[in-house]
Amino acid sequence: MNKRKSRKKNAFPPHLAHLNINAAGIDIGSTAHFVAVPEDRDKQVVREFKTFTTDLYELAAWLKECKIETVAMESTGVYWIPLYEILEEKGFQVLLVNAHHVKNVSGRKSDVLDCQWIQQLHTYGLLSGAFRPAEEICQLRGYMRQRENLIRYAAMHVQHMQKALDQMNLRLHNAISDITGMTGQKILRAIVNGDRDAKELAKHRDGRCKNPIEVIEKSLIGNYKSEHVFALKQALDLYDYYQTKVQECDMVIEGFLQSITTAEKSNVELPKKRKTKSTPKFEVQTYLYKLCGVDLTAIDGVDALSGLKIISEVGIDMGKWKTEKQFGSWMGLSPGTKISGGKILKRSSKSSANRAASILRLCANALYNSPTALGSFLRRMKSRIGAPKAITATAYKLAKIIYRMLKNKIDYRDIGQDYYNQRYQDKLLKGLKHKAASLGYELTQIGSLIKPNINKLEVS
């Protein structure tokens, strides 16, 4: 430890001001955390603490003895979460920094030097903290992510059911659109219970099924081998198990939403939205409105469940971001600005694993056939730059709309695709007129099309 401590530190210019005098730096690890404090606070300025809970409280007590007020730590995996919560509980100002942003310095290859480097950067105010929502939003985010995991696990067993049907050459997926629907579930449960007669199985057809009963009956003639039926039964049981866990999770989410929302806006009537299979049974739209103060489902493409997922990731306090563009950039949706020598090198958005951005992309993708301004924007951008970039551009527009609604508490109103198209045409015409005037020409309208007047094309 002493040998490592005696190594030469990375020197900073002497004119830099110490903005955070009582600052500490922590290098996070899976088995141990290395903590560095200023040199005048203790004889041993770098200490190692194990990751057991008692050691974390000992770490916090040592920082109190060293009169530390603010702490910077790396966001390494999930190992930072217990220490972060304990330090916040003890009253420290905790700054969570991206490990990628503090590693790009040569010569530092040990945990001791890492924590000293983080402490030094934080002392000079050169670190920016990562976004972390309020505590109640973090709790809601945990519930929503757990629900998403349960749905993903259930979907895996739907694939297992489909595989078992294919192995028995039951082409049920050619006759019905979803084996987890009313018709599919009745037929699968009848097969598991021992029914093999295709005519009897086809009688479970729901009246809303598009294909006639003859097609379903033909798809249910197969090779019912016992091992494949057993695999189908286990996959169906596991699917049912995860469905019950999703319902339990929905009950917890509803109870938590009741505890954090007020009854002030309970009498507001909201337009009903069509619910999907994955939407919880309770009124998500009502709780979402109470939580936000605005109706996010009024935005085209955003349903109640998607809106609740977005809120669980970003919260309702938009004061964390100065502008709507900064909000979109944090999500990784805004265009890039890589410019050198006045030449644009790259304009694509940065790669990001932001969950809110993924949800907004799904919402944007659902707008392709929408007769709205956002739908018209998506179609226009898709014809220009292709589907992936168009979806990202539309998701960026959705992010800016959500930012304005939450920050200014204003409702969203769709201007309509006709007004949007007309406004875009007027903007395009204005640009063409300006371009023609710069070249010494005059642009006039003939009929419903914009064409240059041959008689008035004169060079000035």
Rounded to 5 degrees, φ, ψ at 36 are -120, 135
In this prediction the pTM is: 0.83
Residue boundaries of the structural domains of the chain: 2-123, 137-256, 280-408, 417-456
Comparing C-alpha atoms, which of 196, 199, 205 is closest to residue 175?
205
pLDDT recorded at residue 11: 55
How are beta strands 70-74 and 23-27 bridged, if at all? parallel
DSSP character for 371? -
Alpha carbon 349 to chain centroid, angstroms: 15
pLDDT recorded at residue 341: 73
pLDDT recorded at residue 52: 95
Q: Which CATH number fits domain 2-123: 3.40.50.2000, 3.30.420.140, 1.10.1740.10, 3.40.190.10?
A: 3.30.420.140
Give Rg (Cα) of the chain.
30
Contacts 24+ apart (CB under 8 A), 213-220: 215/175, 216/172, 216/175, 216/176, 216/183, 216/187, 218/175, 219/170, 219/171, 219/172, 219/174, 219/175, 220/170, 220/172, 220/187
Token pair in block for residue 202: 């086809």
Please, what are the averages of pLDDT over each run of 10 residues along the chain (460 residues)? 46 66 91 91 91 94 93 87 92 86 58 81 85 90 95 95 94 89 92 92 88 90 93 96 96 93 67 80 91 92 93 93 92 82 75 90 93 92 92 95 94 88 88 89 70 39
Q: Tell me which amino acid residue 210 is.
A: K
Instruction: Specify whether the CB–CB gap between 1 and 46 falls below 8 A.
Output: yes
What count of other Cβ atoms lies within 10 Å of the Cβ of residue 456? 10
